[in-house]
Amino acid sequence: MSGDNTELTRALGRIEGKLDMIVASQSSLNERMDNMDSRLRHVEQQAAKVGAISGGIVAVGTALAVEMVKRALL
């Protein structure tokens, strides 16, 4: 009977150790995910700024081109 208890205690110890490893791994993954999210947010903000600026430049360029075509035809 005491041999059974010893085996159960060892098995529970192994399970507890594995769960501790899983918890530590999960914590590490959460930290990495937060870092990637932060970097991605920065990249998306930069892309939005560049998109807005280039959209404005294209709009002004198109307006200038239309005006030049109007003057050339009239």
Give the pLDDT score at 15.
96
- Which DSSP string corresponds to 15-55? HHHHHHHHHHHHHHHHHHHHHHHHHHHHHHHHHHHHHHHHH
Give the pLDDT score at 5.
87
61 CB-side CA count, 13 A: 6
Statement: residue 1 has pLDDT above 70? no
pTM over 0.85: no
pLDDT tens for each residue of 11-69: 999 999 999 999 999 999 999 999 999 999 999 999 999 999 999 999 999 999 999 99
